[in-house]
């Protein structure tokens, strides 16, 4: 451990010491990071970093309005990582920067809270685990659902046999996405370092559609909605299955339907992963659609059974969950549904309600990001990476499910995995395990 890293570890070891954080990436999600850290007593926002000067100024103004002291501003994240006054960094950049930013930070002696997905490709996920172990830094990935008390309770019940052995977990990402249209390239706006924004990606002219959130829909910088909203539900699906590692096979099909625009990633995608005797299924649907998960009202033939009496944990008359973004779990003895609204489990042919939890307002309710960040800050002080709720050893596998689906979609066939991971007899697919990095932004 270097002198700066040692000093940082000593400074935050006390229970009452604040962790000095730099936030890297100050767009929509980075602004959420700022708001949450400003509410957490253990945190002090000491640095603000973005390639966009306007974003830095906006964040600084929000910080001062919240009665916090002014933070240092950085246009280059490497300057923040080199600053001995910074203990940890919170990364909310576009996906293609997630791994390289975290690696640079950890090698500089910083602990890292990184937004999901953990990595832009599978190779990067493996490197993140390696560097985190070598540097002994904390690396929490921002899948905040793993800090949601309701979902923690539900997962404990499922893994405890509530619905028997889970043979299928199904994640749903039915999130309406409107067409982004088409726009020509244009001059780079004043105050934006476009070259730094592109980083590891190929150098290309500035285009408004490739900046400010829509970067999700281009292969250079994003992973489509399966790697955006979908990675949350994929992580929850894996959690309900006991967090299995690599599947035996992966297959995805779909397309970009209905729209004629500049988006490259699919807006409709169905993926299936074979884990041997059980499977994980995932669906992305960005167009108009119905929901899934309503409670069946009896068998298809014969009279409908009487309504089951509410269980001790079920409010009388509670409406069944109808999932647009969430998860369904199917077991040998029943099934369950979960979303941000709540959790329900049913058993037997009569669909008897055996457990129901509804989301509560306040801490741990709709958005448990603050709880997830508090879990990260506690690990920064304890130096126990196993206490992290979405530590990189878990999170990179959830991200890898997204990448497996996208690779299968892009090559147009089912993939068989071997150790490594590598694909059996498929050089085209193996090439997509990583990317051609633009120097000096090389993982």
Q: Identify whether residues 281 and 172 lie together within a single domain.
A: yes
In a domain, 81, yes or no: yes
Give the list of residues 6+ apart from residue 437 with CB closer than 8 angstroms, or none. Answer: 200, 443
Q: Identify whether residues 176 and 92 lie together within a single domain.
A: no
Q: Identify whether residues 350 and 369 lie together within a single domain.
A: no
Q: What are the DSSP E strand ranges found in 291-443?
A: 325-331, 334-339, 342-347, 352-358, 415-418, 422-423
Q: Identify whether residues 386 and 320 lie together within a single domain.
A: no
Contact 339, 325 (CB under 8 A): yes
In a domain, 399, yes or no: no
In a domain, 193, yes or no: no
Greatest alpha-carbon span in the chain: 75
The count of structural domains within the chain is 2
If residue 167 lies in a helix (H) or strand (E), which one and from where to where? Answer: strand 166-173
Strands 334-339 and 325-331, bridge-based pairing: antiparallel
Question: 175-210: b or e for each residue (b if 16 or more CB lie within 10 Å)?
Answer: bebeebeeeeeeeeeeebebebbbbbbeeeebbebb
Please state the separation of Cα 146 from the chain's center in Å. Answer: 10
Q: Identify whether residues 157 and 305 lie together within a single domain.
A: yes
Token digits for 36?
């949450």
In a domain, 304, yes or no: yes
In a domain, 420, yes or no: no
pLDDT score, position 13: 55
Q: Identify whether residues 292 and 323 lie together within a single domain.
A: yes
pLDDT score, position 410: 98
Nearest C-alpha neighbor of 373 from the set 106, 70, 21, 137: 21
Q: Identify whether residues 69 and 158 lie together within a single domain.
A: no
Q: Could you report the average pLDDT of every consecutive run of 10 residues in the chain (443 residues)?
A: 50 72 97 96 97 97 90 97 98 98 98 98 98 98 96 97 98 96 97 98 98 97 98 97 97 98 98 97 96 61 39 46 93 96 94 90 72 97 97 98 98 94 97 97 97
- Identify the CATH number of the domain in which residue 110 sits: 3.40.50.720
Strands 88-91 and 111-114, bridge-based pairing: parallel
Q: Identify whether residues 139 and 178 lie together within a single domain.
A: no
Q: Identify whether residues 58 and 156 lie together within a single domain.
A: no
pLDDT score, position 67: 77
Q: Identify whether residues 133 and 231 lie together within a single domain.
A: no
Q: How many CB atoms lie within 10 A of CB 387?
A: 14
pLDDT score, position 366: 61
Domain closes at, from 358, 375, 402: 358
Q: Identify whether residues 232 and 338 lie together within a single domain.
A: yes
Q: How many CB atoms lie within 10 A of CB 313?
A: 12
Full residue range of the structural domain in which residue 128 is found: 3-146+365-391
In a domain, 190, yes or no: no
In a domain, 280, yes or no: yes
Q: What is the pTM of this model?
A: 0.91
Nearest C-alpha neighbor of 63 from the set 80, 85, 48, 83: 48
Domain closes at, from 342, 358, 374: 358
Domain closes at, from 391, 407, 434: 391
Q: Identify whether residues 126 and 175 lie together within a single domain.
A: no
- Identify the CATH number of the domain in which residue 247 sits: 3.30.360.10
Q: Provide φ and ψ at 188, rounded to 5°.
A: -65, 130
In a domain, 325, yes or no: yes
């Amino acid at each position: 451990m270097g002198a700066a890293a040692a000093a940082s570890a000593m400074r935050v070891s006390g229970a009452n010491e604040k962790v000095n954080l730099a936030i890297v990436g100050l767009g929509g999600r980075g602004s959420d990071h700022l708001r949450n850290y400003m509410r957490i007593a253990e945190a002090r926002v000491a640095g603000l970093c973005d390639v966009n000067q306007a974003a830095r100024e906006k964040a600084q103004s929000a910080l001062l309005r919240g009665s916090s002291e002014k933070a240092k501003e950085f246009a280059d994240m490497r300057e923040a990582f080199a600053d001995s006054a910074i203990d940890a960094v919170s990364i909310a950049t576009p996906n293609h920067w997630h791994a390289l930013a975290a690696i640079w930070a950890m090698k500089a002696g910083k602990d890292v809270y990184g937004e999901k997905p953990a990595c832009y490709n599978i190779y990067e996920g493996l490197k993140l685990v390696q560097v985190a172990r070598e540097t002994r830094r904390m690396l929490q990935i921002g899948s905040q659902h793993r800090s949601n008390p309701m979902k923690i309770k539900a997962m404990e019940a499922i893994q405890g046999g509530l619905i028997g052995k889970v043979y299928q977990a199904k994640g749903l990402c039915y999130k309406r996405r409107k067409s982004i249209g088409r726009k020509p390239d244009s001059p780079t706006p004043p105050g934006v370092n476009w070259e730094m924004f592109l980083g590891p990606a190929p150098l290309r002219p500035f285009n408004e559609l490739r900046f400010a959130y829509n970067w999700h829909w281009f292969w250079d910088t994003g992973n489509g909605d399966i790697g955006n909203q979908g990675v949350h539900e994929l992580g929850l699906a894996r959690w309900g299955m006991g967090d299995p590692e690599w599947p035996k096979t992966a297959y995805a099909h779909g397309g970009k339907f209905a729209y004629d625009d500049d988006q490259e990633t699919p807006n409709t995608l169905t993926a299936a992963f074979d884990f041997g005797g059980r499977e994980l299924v995932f669906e992305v649907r960005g167009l108009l659609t119905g929901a899934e998960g309503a409670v069946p009202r009896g068998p298809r033939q014969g009279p409908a059974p009487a309504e089951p009496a509410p269980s001790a944990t079920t409010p009388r008359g509670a409406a069944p969950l109808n999932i647009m973004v969430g998860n369904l779990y199917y077991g040998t003895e029943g099934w369950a549904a979960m979303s941000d609204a709540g959790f329900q489990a049913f058993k037997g042919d009569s669909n008897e309600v055996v457990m129901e939890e509804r989301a509560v307002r306040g801490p741990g309710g709709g958005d448990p990001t603050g709880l997830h960040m508090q879990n990260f800050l506690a690990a920064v002080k304890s130096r126990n990476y196993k206490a992290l709720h979405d530590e990189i050893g878990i999170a990179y596998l959830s991200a890898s499910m997204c990448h497996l689906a996208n690779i299968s979609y892009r090559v147009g066939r089912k993939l068989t995995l071997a150790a490594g991971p590598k694909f059996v007899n498929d050089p085209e697919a193996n090439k997509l395990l990583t990317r051609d990095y633009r120097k000096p932004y090389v993982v």
